[in-house]
């Protein structure tokens, strides 16, 4: 069975990869879900001292190695992604400022490949919705992982506790609490 690829943007990667390792390129569930990042994540990490400092664990060899697997594409798809990226970046620049060029690249890949991108970035989610690009939030991905017995609720609660400790809660506290309750049927830890 072919993989069901899912792209994980930078913010979701940093929220999950320390707690669920290896996070990427590990098929799970009957549908063989497999998570990927784009090479731009490493470029972002290399150019941004704040990110490098905050997520120093991401420079550990096992995390660097895990990020070396990217979605494979032929020349035609690569051209289509570049054209789509140009359109999305133009849309962002003129209609919905907020997402970065890297965000636009993730959206272009997801659109062309017909797959979801996992993000908690409000601006990126709005652009994706306007352009009919499939998305998931990090909590949605964790719910999928639980349903596929890839992680359990103990791990979910541990991750949420870690986010609280770091002060890195996605989508505003109220929206987060509602979304968590809706997905997991309990109050968040």
Please state, rounded to an integer, the average pLDDT across all residues of the chain. 93
For residue 24, tell me if it sits in a domain. yes
Domain limits at 88? 4-138
- Model confidence at 122, pLDDT cuts 50, 70, 90, reads very high
* Digit-coded pLDDT (tens) for 133-155: 999 999 999 999 999 999 999 99
Cis, bond preceding 22 (omega within 30 deg of 0) = yes
Residue 66 and residue 36 in contact, taking contact as beta carbons nearer than 8 Å = no
Q: C-alpha angle 91/92/98, rounded to 5°?
A: 165
For residue 68, tell me if it sits in a domain. yes
For the beta carbon of residue 14, count every other beta carbon within 10 angstroms. 19
Task: Specify the number of domains making up the chain.
Answer: 1
Residue 123's pLDDT is: 94
Measured between alpha carbons, how far is 188 from 118 in angstroms, rounded to an integer?
Answer: 20
Q: What is the CATH number of the domain that holds 78?
A: 3.40.50.1010
For residue 65, tell me if it sits in a domain. yes
For residue 178, tell me if it sits in a domain. no
Residue 173's pLDDT is: 61
Query: Is the model's pTM score more than 0.85?
Result: yes
For residue 186, tell me if it sits in a domain. no
- Model confidence at 167, pLDDT cuts 50, 70, 90, reads confident
């Amino acid at each position: 069975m072919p993989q069901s690829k899912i792209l994980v943007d930078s913010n979701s990667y940093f929220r999950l990869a320390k707690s669920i390792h290896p996070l990427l390129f590990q098929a799970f569930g009957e549908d063989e879900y497999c998570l990927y990042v784009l090479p731009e994540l490493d470029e972002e990490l290399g150019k941004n001292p704040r990110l490098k400092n905050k997520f120093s664990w991401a420079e550990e060899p096992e995390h660097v190695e895990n990020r070396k697997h990217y979605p494979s594409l032929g020349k035609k798809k690569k051209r289509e992604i570049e054209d789509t990226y140009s359109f999305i970046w133009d849309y962002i620049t003129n209609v919905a400022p907020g997402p970065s060029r890297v965000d636009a690249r993730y959206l272009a890949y997801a659109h062309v490949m017909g797959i979801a991108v996992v993000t908690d970035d409000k601006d990126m989610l709005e652009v994706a919705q306007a352009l009919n690009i499939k998305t998931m939030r990090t909590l949605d991905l964790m719910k999928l992982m639980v349903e596929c017995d890839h992680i359990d609720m103990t791990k979910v609660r541990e991750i949420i506790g870690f986010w609280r400790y770091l002060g890195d809660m996605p989508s505003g506290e109220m929206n987060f609490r509602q979304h968590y309750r809706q997905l997991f049927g309990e109050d968040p830890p």
